[in-house]
Amino acid sequence: MKRLVLAVVLVGSGVGGLWYYESRKQERVIGELRQRLDRLKADQLVADVAVLGQTRGQDGTTVTKLSFVEYKPQSGETLLSKSFDVRGEEFYIDALVVRFEDKFVEMGDGLRGTSVLLFRRAFGNQQKPDEGVPLFTVGDGHDPIPDPLKVPGTEDAFQRSLWARFWSLANDPDAAKKAGVRVAQGEAPHVLAKPHQVYQLTLRAAGGLEIKPRVPAPVQKEMQHGKK
């Protein structure tokens, strides 16, 4: 009888241990999946655009005055700050964007762990893109990447190669695949500008460039009311 009880206890202990092991294993798997999903959905603030004012001329042209502030990757420090005018009630922020394969983003792989971009220009809906205002800084010598935009802990050679071959990667699927690039393309999100509003530009780790109001509409109304 004692042997039977001992056997039951041992079996029960084994089952309990197995259940505990499988339970912990399942928790780890779920945790890893959540981390991968979080990496894919992570957003990074890359710039702010403030609408300082708008004026309409007799010819029907609207001039929108903007203040653009770009931030250094992963630091929040200011990289570029400038104010300028564009023609139109809508403004576009044009950039070159490289998105990497999801597997690299999920793993948090160095440079390929998040999308990267280079701003090009801003323009309004009443002007040609080529007439827009430049929104980029120049690297040293022939380096196409300004030092502040370089992603820390990654090889400069790979980053230089990405931007030097940008349009080749955009047009050559095989070359893009070898580099782990899902898509390389120009993106120009735009919005109907509201005076005294601030718009934030965010870059999704596995996605592209997004623009949305930073100041909520109710707060914006209060700000406008206070100016009267």
- How many domains is the chain built from? 2
Contact 54, 130 (CB under 8 A): no
48 and 37 in a common domain: no
- What is the pLDDT, as a whole number, of residue 31? 42
56 and 25 in a common domain: no
Work out the angle at residue 60's Cα, subtended by the Cα atoms of residues 54 and 63, and round it to the nearest 5 degrees.
25
62 and 28 in a common domain: no
125 and 64 in a common domain: yes
Contact 220, 194 (CB under 8 A): yes
User: Collapsing DSSP states into helix, strand and coil, what is residue 128?
Assistant: coil
**Gap between the Cα atoms of 42 and 133, Å rounded:** 29
Contact 190, 211 (CB under 8 A): yes
- What is the pLDDT, as a whole number, of residue 192? 97
What is the residue range of 96's domain?
Answer: 43-226
13 and 60 in a common domain: no
Residues of the chain with pLDDT under 70: 1-42, 105, 108-110, 137-156, 215-228
- What is the pLDDT, as a whole number, of residue 175? 94
110 and 59 in a common domain: yes
**Gap between the Cα atoms of 153 and 149, Å rounded:** 12
